[in-house]
Structure 1
Amino acid sequence: MRKTAAAGLAVGLIAALGFAAPASASTSASAQLSVLHGIPDTPVDVYVNGELTLDDFQPGDLAGPLTLPAGDYEVALTAPDAADASTPILGPATLTLAGGGNYTAAAYLSEGGDPSLKLFQNDTATTSAGQGRLTVRHIAAAPAVDVLAGGTPVIEDLTNPNEATLNLPAGTVSASVALAGTTDPVLGPTDVPIQDGVLTIVYAWGSAEDENLALAVQTVTVSHSNPGGVPSGTAGYLAQRDATMSFIGLAAAGALAIAAAAATAVAMRRRQEARR
């Protein structure tokens, strides 16, 4: 019989990885790992070192964070209810976790729409007192964007599957987004809160051409300015379903900006082609 996640995705991932020893592991150090499914319309089973780890992992889901022994983990994604990992739809790929590292593994679409897998290392270095950190990750099948502050680009030509990080004073920033290489905003300006001692990671995922862009948000405490904080996250379709939750704070605003810019770029390209 197929095993199912009896107590949620995170619990299932913890249990499975607890028995799936890394191919090359150090018992003296550990790492933290979260997993984001950013491929639209494609439920998958996730295998780690040949063992079924997540059953029917849905697009937009974020599992973790988990504390794991440092080392190499072989990850493969299969169609739901596959007998084993011998015919993956993505992978196998080796994820190397270093001791003390904090990571998010993202399954996503390349700019050209091909299923891909990338391991991101989350920047958990302590921020200066009174500062927060923003990381924007572009993992959508969509073109590049610039992020503007006061009309000046502060993040330029952000392309899939890259990221950009800013350390900013806690407070509110007026930000807008333009197509790469331009300064005419396609969204904003928008007032965005920056949280003291918190890394906010914004993922734009999905496909602009297929009009299924979505948001995923992950937050990680990076300093002692917020004692007792732990890494946490929300993701994908949850942000679409709940407008109140999805547009709270910096993460939703940033991801929405990228999604809007990408969709606008695709629409502009289609209009140009139609005129030819």
Structure 2
Amino acid sequence: MNLSQLLAHFKIELKDVYEEEEVKSIFSVSVEHLLMLKRSSLMMNWEKEVSKEEADQFFSIAAGLKTHQPIQYLLGEAYFYGATFKVNEAVLIPRPETEELVDWILAEDLANKTVIDFGTGSGCIAISLKKHGKASAVTAVDISEKALALAAENASRLEAEVDFIHADILNLDIVGQFDIIVSNPPYITGTEMAEMHQNVLAHEPHLALFVPDERPLLFYEAIADFAVGHLKENGRLFFEINEYLSEETIQMLKDKGFVNVSLRKDMQGKPRMILATKD
């Protein structure tokens, strides 16, 4: 079987799940992962034959995609800020808008600064800040032991020195003072679930996604309270936020005494990031 025939198989199997252009893109990602053949080379190699073992791997990916499993989980990796991170269903798949948050933080001079990341998941934020920002110390916190194990594996593989702590954001007893606190905590309400894609609802960890409708800022409030006592003078607090709750999040931070609260939109023009400074 050659690559052209495998693509035809993907198109047939996934016609009810993805648009044809999406199928082509996913197939290209699969080819690069399994055969180390980049998209530019794929265009000249449609007749390339694959072994039975390789073909079976492609068939398995197509079968998983047909049941709405995200391609990142099927391949076991996701690309974030210039690096490949291992992922599984214990962690959220890193998103492009989170890269924008990392960009914003890296605009700060992180040299000799201490950073703590709450709800680290795959470790993508903490590891990227350590590798690219040269922070003196980076700590990453998560309630999921499985997530922490994967994040630690990513840190080791990417040669980033990060301290990992198993803790509940809602019941923190972490000591120390920090220059930067960052978090992309759970923020999706039950009401918003109906708008979400099936591959997210069925496979990504609900622990990292959802909050009660009656307290949508639950985790933001807890982290802000921690920041009041643990941010150094003029320390920075960065959040990725629910686009529908930007005004409420800003007001909450002001009520807790933070100043110079700034809202930033993502590449799609949605209000998705906030920076606040400790007075």
Please give the TM-score of this superposition, normalised by the length of structure 2: 0.28
The structure where helix makes up a greater share of residues is 2
The structure where strand makes up a greater share of residues is 1
